[in-house]
């Protein structure tokens, strides 16, 4: 939330600075609210979660693989995918949208403070203009991305953990691969949705 608030404040400051040249500071509200709700909020959360939870998934499952605990599950007649991967996937599908809501609120809060301090736009005016400008399409377009990003992070983190071999070097290599692949694919998915929304005028 702190990171989102800072990014929201930076975007607001830069937008207001450029729009001052056209005496159009009020459009800062439109720009920031749309950018945060459609793109920045969910993307920042997904990148942070990929680095934090995606790597943790790989480390946890990889450590179990090194200690042969996954083989023990198989011997007990349990499916490692169902026991280890599916609960993490469900947890990520629940958590990422909730974190996105919190990040959106924090980014908009940072934008409100910066708009008040830098562009003399009072919070009440910011909120009213955002209320007039933003509709459910803008909100849902960002939130709709969250489950897809959650699936990518959880699946990559879990699968890389299952690929760990019997050494600490292998564990480190797969944890690094999880972070890199997850962040890359999250950004690709975000770009795909941006193009798709543009094509269907959503």
- Encode pLDDT of 62-83 as tens digits: 999 888 888 888 888 888 888 8
Task: Mention every residue, 6+ apart, whose C-beta is less than 8 A from residue 140.
Answer: none
- 201 — alpha (psi -120 to 50), left (phi > 0) or beta? left
Cβ atoms of residues 41 and 28 within 8 Å: no
Instruction: Please tell me the pTM assigned to this model.
Output: 0.88
Task: Report CA-CA distances (Å) from 1 to 8, 100, 106, 133.
Answer: 10, 9, 5, 24
pLDDT at residue 166, as a whole number: 77
- Encode pLDDT of 81-111 as tens digits: 888 999 999 999 999 999 999 999 999 999 9
């Amino acid at each position: 939330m702190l990171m989102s608030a800072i990014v929201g404040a930076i975007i607001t400051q830069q937008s207001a600075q450029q729009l001052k040249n056209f005496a159009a500071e009020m459009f800062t509200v439109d720009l920031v609210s749309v950018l945060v709700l459609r793109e920045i909020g969910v993307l920042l959360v997904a990148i942070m979660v990929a680095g934090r939870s995606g790597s943790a998934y790989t480390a946890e499952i990889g450590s179990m693989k090194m200690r042969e605990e996954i083989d023990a599950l198989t011997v007990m007649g349990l499916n490692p995918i169902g026991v280890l991967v599916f609960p993490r996937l469900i947890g990520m599908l629940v958590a990422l949208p909730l974190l996105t809501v919190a990040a959106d609120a924090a980014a908009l809060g940072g934008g409100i403070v910066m708009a008040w301090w830098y562009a003399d736009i009072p919070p009440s005016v910011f909120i009213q203009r955002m209320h007039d400008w933003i509709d459910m399409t803008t909100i849902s377009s960002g939130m709709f991305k969250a489950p897809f990003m959650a699936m990518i992070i959880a699946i990559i983190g879990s699968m890389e953990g299952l690929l760990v071999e019997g050494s600490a070097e292998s564990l480190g290599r797969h944890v690094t691969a999880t972070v890199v692949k997850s962040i890359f694919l999250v950004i690709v998915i975000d770009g795909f949705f941006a193009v798709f929304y543009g094509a269907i005028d959503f």
